[in-house]
A = this chain, B = another copy of it.
Amino acid sequence: MNPPVIEKVAQKILSENDRIAAALRASFLQRHILCVNLISSPGSGKTLLLEKTLEAFPKTERVAVLTGDIQTDNDARRLARYGFPVRQITTAGACHLDARMIEKALADWDLSTIDTLFIENVGNLVCPTAYDLGEEAKIVLLSVTEGEDKPLKYPGIFFKSDLAIFTKIDLLPFVPFQLDEAHENARKIHPGIEMIDLSAHTGQGMDAWTQWLAARKAKRHSACA
C-alpha cells in the first residue's frame, strides 16, 4: 500500500487546502462575514434547518448559502426559494467540500454584500472534518434517529465543532434515542462544545439557534472593531 507516499500526498493536499482556507478566513474577517460550516450524515436535516433559518430571516438580512452535494442541485433549488443568494457546489464524486471549491464558488460574488455565509457540506460525518474551508465555526448536526454513541464513534467532527445541534427532536417519542446520553458523549469528546436540541419541523429550539448565530455575529463585529 506504500503508506509513506500516500501520507506525503495527503499532507500536500491538506497543506494546499490550508493555504487557501487561511486566505478565505482573512477575507471573511476583513469583511465581518460570519461563515459557518454545517457537517452531518446524509439526511440529518442540514437543508431543512437552513430552509427554516432563511424563511425566518428578514429579507434585508445579508445572508448567502453554498451547498455541497456529490450529485444534483436539489438542495440549491430548495434553498433558493427564500430570496437569498444560493449556489450549489456539485463535487462529482468527492466526499467533502474543500477550500478551493469554496474559493471558486465565491469568485464572482461581491463579498461586501454578505454578513453571514452558510456552507452546507456534503452529507458525510467523516471526511469533511479534515478540510478547513476558512469558516469561523464547524457545526455538527446529529439526528435523534441515529444513535447516542455517534460522538464516540465519530469523535473527529465533535472535537472540531463549536456547536452540536441535535435535530428531529419531535421524533424523540418514537425512537429509543437518549438525549442526555448523547449530550454526555459529545462532552466526553469535547468538554466545551455548545449544544442545541432542535426540531426544524416544529420550530422547537429554533430560537436558541438564531440566538447562537446572533451572538457569534456580535462577537465577530466586536473582535474586528
CA distance A152 to B125 in the complex (A): 19
Residue A41 interfacial (CB < 8 Å) = yes
Segment among A8-16, A25-33, A52-60, A207-215 that sits at the interface with chain B? A8-16
A123 touches B122 (CB 8 A): no
Question: Scoring A residues 1 to 28 as 1 if CB is less than 8 Å from chain B, else 0, what string do you get?
Answer: 1100110010011001000000000000
Residue A74 interfacial (CB < 8 Å) = yes
Residue A204 interfacial (CB < 8 Å) = no
- Residue of B5, B6, B145, B147 touching A145 (CB-CB under 8 A): B145
A42 touches B146 (CB 8 A): yes
Interface centre among A43, A70, A72, A153 (most CB of B within 10 A): A43
Segment among A105-113, A168-176, A190-198 that sits at the interface with chain B? A168-176
B154 touches A42 (CB 8 A): yes
Least CB separation from A90: chain B residue: B153
CB neighbors of B among A95-133 (8 A): 95, 100, 122-127
A42 touches B150 (CB 8 A): yes
| Closest Cβ–Cβ distance, residue A4 to chain B (whole Å) | 11
CA distance A62 to B151 in the complex (A): 33
B1 touches A150 (CB 8 A): no
| Closest Cβ–Cβ distance, residue A50 to chain B (whole Å) | 14
Q: List A residues at the B interface (Cβ < 8 Å).
A: 1-2, 5-6, 9, 12-13, 16, 41-43, 69-72, 74, 93, 95, 100, 122-127, 142-143, 145-147, 149-150, 152-156, 168, 170-171, 174-175
Name 18 extra pairs, CB < 8 A, besides A41-B42, A42-B146, A171-B171.
A1-B100, A5-B12, A41-B41, A41-B123, A41-B125, A42-B147, A43-B142, A43-B146, A43-B150, A70-B126, A70-B153, A74-B152, A95-B126, A123-B154, A124-B124, A124-B126, A124-B127, A171-B174
